Amino acid sequence: MRRISPVLQQDGVEPDLIALLKTILAACREIAFRVSQGELAGVLGSTLGENIQGETQKKLDVIANELLKEVILETGVVKAISSEEEDTIVAGNPKGKYLVTFDPLDGSSNTDINSLIGTIFSILPADPAKEADDASLFLQPGTAQVAAGYVLYGPSTMLALTTGHGTRLYTLDNTYGGFLLTEDQAAIPKYTTEFAINMSNQRFWQEPMQHYIADLLLGKTGTRGKNFNMRWIAAMVGDVHRVLCRGGIFAYPTDTKDPQKPDKLRLMYEANPMSFLVEQAGGVSSTGYQRIMEIIPIDIHQRVAVILGSKHEVETCIGYHKA
Ligand code: F6P
């Protein structure tokens, strides 16, 4: 089985980018270890309390954020980072040629129930003409990404990675201490009978999504003429991983549940990197009205509707938005 560096070298990826990716993955290996320790590490729960020795306990997502931030900025090739856990961007080396965005621990409410969680990251080129503390550095569409990936902390720790040469899957080999290539080219099947959506929001969705899901639920007796199955992991990394492995459609549509927050998922930390991975595996990713990777961001923390996965199914769903 092949290690990451030779695979990236073969794809013609720049040495600095390879080094940056390896640094991010080293941090993820450390996060994987802490996740595997669970309650033993004293980092679960939602409060910043004290452990039995009187030491301050930090939540796992705070630890993951600090670890990633520190190691990424130390590489010297990164001009600035933007994290889902930080209010503002953090400046790095003014001469750095890359920007990194990340969600240190996606699906973090799953930590307390020992269920799937992961780290999502995206790498963009940095404009040399801008200052390192200028947030507008990050306002680039997803099509500008030079790499994107996630590390899924599951029964095995897995990495999905793209640098624009397809999406590859790697598995962490703890005996060797690194990720080994286990799927050279993820290929999302064009057709599917599986959907993932938080059905409890149904009454808050807009009409196109109401109609689309209603037709899926009618199964064989409805216009779709086949039965659909539903899955919901409540961590985007877990749901997208399933889609990469066996196809499906994943959606977090706009809703009116909280008028202040019509969309839930973040463009830069979740939607763009996942869209890059999905498209590179032959899938489609859209808001229902627009290709996600073509959105020009106006804010680093902006949220967006997401519909992604098997080509035919996502295109069918987009069709309901045109009607
Ligand atoms: O980032 C937010 C997130 O945890 C995603 O990973 C996941 O898809 C979604 O929220 C789950 O949302 P809900 O709480 O509605 O199930």
Shared-domain flag, residues 58 and 176: yes
Q: Whose CA is nearest to atom 15 of ligand 1?
A: 198
Place of tokens 């991010």: 24
- Specify the number of domains making up the chain: 2
DSSP 8-state secondary structure symbol assigned to residue 57: P
Residue-averaged pLDDT of the chain = 95
Q: Cα–Cα–Cα angle for 141, 144, 148, nearest 5°?
A: 100
Residue among 84, 85, 102, 106 whose CB has most ligand 1 atoms within 8 A, to mutate: 106
- The pLDDT of residue 54 is 55
Give every strand in the sheet of 284-286, ordered side by side: 229-230, 194-196, 249-252, 306-309, 284-286
Expressed in angstroms and rounded, the spacing between residue 108 Cα and the centre of ligand 1 is 9
Expressed in angstroms and rounded, the spacing between residue 231 Cα and the centre of ligand 1 is 13
> Is 311 part of any domain?
yes
* pTM across the whole model: 0.96
The ligand 1 atom nearest the CA atom of 200: 15
Residue among 195, 264, 306 whose CB has most ligand 1 atoms within 8 A, to mutate: 264
> Is 82 part of any domain?
yes
Shared-domain flag, residues 165 and 54: yes
Three-state DSSP at 203 gives helix
Q: Which residues contact residue 10 at a Cβ distance below 8 angstroms, ignoring those fewer than 6 apart?
A: none
> Is 189 part of any domain?
no
Angle, nearest 10°, between helix axes 311-322 and 207-218? Answer: 130
Query: Which of 242, 310, 234, 297 is closest to 271 using CA atoms?
Result: 297
Expressed in angstroms and rounded, the spacing between residue 13 Cα and the centre of ligand 1 is 32
Tens of pLDDT, residue by residue over 86-97, are 999 999 999 999
Tens of pLDDT, residue by residue over 44-86, are 765 555 544 455 556 899 999 999 999 999 999 999 999 999 9
Shared-domain flag, residues 30 and 178: yes
CB 124 within 8 A of CB 145: yes
